[in-house]
Amino acid sequence: MMDKKKGVIGILTGGGDVPGLNPAIRAVTIRALREGYQVIGIRRGWGGLVDIIRDKNADNNNNFQILTEEIVNRAGRTGGTFLHTSRTNPGKVRKEDVPGYLQDKYVEEKNDLTPEVLKNLDYLGIDTMIPIGGDDTLSYGVRLYQEGFKVVAIPKTMDNDVPGTDYCIGFSTCVTRTISLTNSLRTSAGSHERFLILEVFGRYAGFTAMLPTMAGAANRCVIPEYKFNIDHLTELMVKDRLANPSHYSILLISQGAMYEAGEMIFENNATDAYGHAKLGGIGDLVSERMKELSPKYNKGKTVDVISQKLGYMVRGGDPDAIDSIVPMAFGNLALDLVLGGIHGRLVVLKNGRYDNMPLDIVTSTKKLVDVNRFYDTSRYRPKYENFETKPLFIMTSEV
């Protein structure tokens, strides 16, 4: 369909939005155009490659757009992703989500539309894909590469939990926003002498709770990697409150955190295309229980609670400095690999150095907080020791 130049690169963003996606799209596009490539932006993540109708008379403008310097420069300093995003997994498309013209062909409850995706890539003339996303989005990039397609991936997620890299696009802005919002809310906590309990993102990994706490935003944090005892946590929070002249204390709680005898808390039974139920609610549950338990450790007096989900407030808005610089570097790293004929790689930051790793690292392991090294399990807070030779954000990906 497209007239090929040196080659045609497709780029997409999948999963949750974060600040830094548009700078990454900009970096890839400008470098690629100057090297003689054409760049096609796929809309709505992998979903845009599922919905294409391979007919020259069909209107596919909702699924992709040709990228120019003007387009990416206009968006490149802003948050979010102008290509839009989805959690579509073409390898597991629900029957009701199969495009109408394919519903006679794919009739299972879950359908693998990878053959259609490969045909659609060929139809668009795309010979290399650069997906930007977390481990779910990139896991389908692994699948495409295993099918023989050229893929170079860029890691993005506020949770900072993509294996193989110490840093994922969006994490710095998330930490910056979390610290700022916590500092805004602490004035209310102090005015009313309450506990302030803030639920932050983090399904399996507690980095977004750990780093702001380490930076002094909170007294305590509980994370998915270590189940907590609510009585002990309440006792610690009461002590913190009594020691504070303003009579308040702050807890950051990862959405995937669990009671000692409990499981993750879900909003409902619905799951996304990667099988994940929507998390949420642990902050409110802990708030209610901590209020009930507080008289036990506070001379019989109840401590009221301010409970707040930070949620989308930490993923909206413009990128900070790090999430403007790292996406630029990641985009150019990806082009270096493409120009060198190297594929099946994930661009990474390791120990303060830009590098690349085999793409299948994304599906072969998990990146979690090393509790023994970084988390004080008796005090529910980070350890403040052994920082020598650690990278900028302290906790590394060990693989």
Q: Do residues 374 and 206 touch, judged by C-beta distance below 8 A?
A: no
Q: How many CB atoms lie under 10 A from the CB of residue 260?
A: 11
Distance CA 35, CA 391 (A): 33
Distance CA 362, CA 397 (A): 12
- Shortest CA distance to 27 belongs to which of 132, 101, 112? 132
Q: Is position 159 annotated as part of the catalytic site?
A: yes
Q: Among the options 159, 166, 240, 323, which is catalytic? A: 159
365 phi, psi to nearest 5 deg: -160, 175
Q: Do residues 51 and 63 touch, judged by C-beta distance below 8 A?
A: yes
Dihedral sign, Cα of residue 135, residue 152, residue 140, residue 88: positive
Distance CA 186, CA 10 (A): 45
Distance CA 207, CA 201 (A): 9
Residues, the chain: 399
Q: Which residues contact 88 (CB under 8 A, 6 or more apart)?
A: 14, 44, 45, 46, 47, 50, 97, 273
Distance CA 126, CA 4 (A): 9
Residues annotated catalytic, as ranges: 159
